[in-house]
Structure 1
Amino acid sequence: MIDISELTVLCDKLGCRITPEAPLNEYITFRFGGPCRALISVNSASSAAELIRFLKENGIKYGVLGRGSNVLVPDEGFDGVILHFGSDFSNIEENGNTIRCDAGALLASACVRAQQLGLTGMENLFGIPGTIGGALYMNAGAYGSEMKDVVCSAEYIDENCNIRTIRAEDMELSYRSSIFSGTDRVITSVTLRLKNGKPDEIKNAMSECMAKRSSKQPLEFPSAGSTFKRPEGSYASLLIDQCGLKGFSCGGAMVSEKHSGFVINKGYATCSDVLELCDRVKKIVNEKTGYKLELEPVILS
């Protein structure tokens, strides 16, 4: 068991809220998973760096969560501390045709701010659930647009707990991957460079994008968005369709009947249900088509 007394003192000093034994199902879009030992609401990059330094020096396991839109939390929870980048760390500032967003700012909020300022380039990203930090971490994208198309630079905490700045061209942005993926680097802010446009036209494009999402995706159910990465040469949803797996279920988890690229929570799914279903889907698709599907969400472990 982690003794969080010293950590609580540090959080008080930094002005960060700490919640012992926080239920993580409330912090991910799939709405399942057990608790963590403590959840800290981060309020600045410097606070995050100091907290990470403390956790590393004391050998305490930790993880970072934004909106949890691409994360699976095990049923037994997470035996460590979660640094939550949410509303306490979500400031958005504009400067000409650039927008700087704290990592906890919602991607949708950044899109709306850009529209209000008459800045174009983010319309197709509107409706992607998650924070701006999470979106850059995985180079999120939709309908032909990706974060790499609009990001200018980012601030992050490196492996030695130093705050650094990195240019877009050095981020190694590719399909659902970046230089941050699978590392100890923690994104703390993202700066976007956009182009001048007309607010009404941008708003209409955003509305059209959201209508398309609503008509094709099962937004009425908890999920982690697209469940499988796009395999080279095909599409996960197409392959799953071809295998007749729409509506295929394990416990409370089901392949959406609306969009087979989504595994949804029918209301009582566990993480074990989702992982079992995904394993079965991967096996059947591989046996019938030869394609190997790869899970897109990250498992918090």
Structure 2
Amino acid sequence: MNNRQVYEKLLTVVAEDTIKVDEMLRNHLYTKLGGKADFFITPTTYEEVQNVVKLSNEENIPFTLLGNGSNLIVKDGGIRGIVIHLKNFNDISTDGTTLVAQSGAAIIEASRKALAENLSGLEFACGIPGTVGGALFMNAGAYGGEIKDVLDHAIVVDRHGELVKREAADLALDYRTSNIPENGDIVLEATFHLKHGKYEDIKAIMDDLTYKRESKQPLEFPSCGSVFKRPPGYFAGKLIQDSDLQGKNIGGAEVSTKHAGFIVNKDNATATDYISLIEHVQKTVKEKFNVELEREVRIIGEDLEK
């Protein structure tokens, strides 16, 4: 099936104004990296997401789900087939101690909503730059808290296009991992169980965590967040710093001089620059300390054709 035929098929399941052709992904991702998507779709209803998944299955069209790319690198050759972006699913609501957030909402906004309703439990998320869906995907965490600590359940579209409720216990949430990608699920919304608290106490914790983040992390540049998982018995940033890699650059990508665990897009970096620098850091740390740095950031897409 050629692209024109794919486009015609898509028009039967989603609204025309939700489809963009040959859309540059770097314009939509936190990292400001990535080539073109053949078809970039921003559905507005759960049913549209289900329809796209079912169409993809029936016609054997590859599809990829994107959040805001805060922990993702899309290669310079972009992504073939259909890319789904859930930016329109950004509603957040509360009922008693329950907070329900759609997957396209920023997890930071979910923590702010909890604060406004005097609910405690999401303070740790006040500085995480991802979406709610992305936070579940990788069991995001910071400063001693993780999504698995407060998640009750999620509503997902499964690989067959069916709407399914997944209990938190069913998602295999562990350190920066879940079984969501393995299952082929698309998270549409998440329900969190929080606790009543005092506004002043919750805000004090969030202010402290925000200060720590802003004072230590290179927020002035696009980045993919923390690049590497913490190796057992070590800190990735300390290993990189002790390898004299801070300030090392390849193209427009640079190991941050503010926090060695971050690689920043300092000067119109390409995904190739970024990936080459990640590999250089891994190689250098392995040579100096015999420690394997495992990536936390995901890398997807295709290389640019030469």
The residue that corresponds to 2:58 in the other structure is: 57
Q: Deviation per CA, 1:154-201, whole angstroms, max 9, x where unpaired?
A: 111222221111111222111000121344111111000000001122
Q: Distance in 2 between matches of 1:290 and 1:35?
A: 38
The residue that corresponds to 1:212 in the other structure is: 212
The residue that corresponds to 1:167 in the other structure is: 167
1:248 matched to 2:251? The reply is no
1:18 matched to 2:40? The reply is no
- How far did residue 16 of structure 1 move? 6.4
Q: How does 1:4-153 map to 2 (within 5 A)?
A: 4-12=7-15, 17-86=18-87, 88-153=88-153
For residue 200 of structure 1, give the secondary structure of its aligned residue in structure 2. Answer: helix
How many residue pairs get aligned? The number is 298
The residue that corresponds to 2:299 in the other structure is: 299
- Aligned residues with identical type, % of pairs: 38
- How far did residue 152 of structure 1 move? 0.8
Decide whether the 8 Å contact of 1:63 with 1:300 is kept in 2: no
Please, what is the CA RMSD of the aligned residues? Answer: 1.3
Specify every segment of 5 or more residues in structure 2 that has no aligned partner in the other structure, as ranges.
302-306
Decide whether the 8 Å contact of 1:138 with 1:178 is kept in 2: yes
Decide whether the 8 Å contact of 1:138 with 1:181 is kept in 2: no
Decide whether the 8 Å contact of 2:154 with 2:187 is kept in 1: yes
- How far did residue 209 of structure 1 move? 1.1
Decide whether the 8 Å contact of 2:14 with 2:43 is kept in 1: no
Q: Deviation per CA, 1:132-160, whole angstroms, max 9, x where unpaired?
A: 01001100001111111111111112222
TM-score in terms of structure 2 length: 0.94
The residue that corresponds to 2:284 in the other structure is: 284
For residue 234 of structure 1, give the secondary structure of its aligned residue in structure 2. Answer: coil
Q: Distance in 1 between matches of 2:237 and 2:198?
A: 35
For residue 32 of structure 2, give the secondary structure of its aligned residue in structure 1. Answer: coil
Q: How does 1:186-197 map to 2 (within 5 A)?
A: 186-197=186-197
Q: Distance in 2 between matches of 1:171 and 1:94?
A: 23
- How far did residue 8 of structure 1 move? 2.4
- How far did residue 267 of structure 1 move? 2.2
Q: Distance in 1 between matches of 2:78 and 2:264?
A: 20
Q: Distance in 1 between matches of 2:175 and 2:100?
A: 23
Q: Distance in 2 between matches of 1:182 and 1:130?
A: 20
Q: Distance in 1 between matches of 2:239 and 2:145?
A: 23
Decide whether the 8 Å contact of 2:103 with 2:134 is kept in 1: yes
Decide whether the 8 Å contact of 1:226 with 1:261 is kept in 2: yes
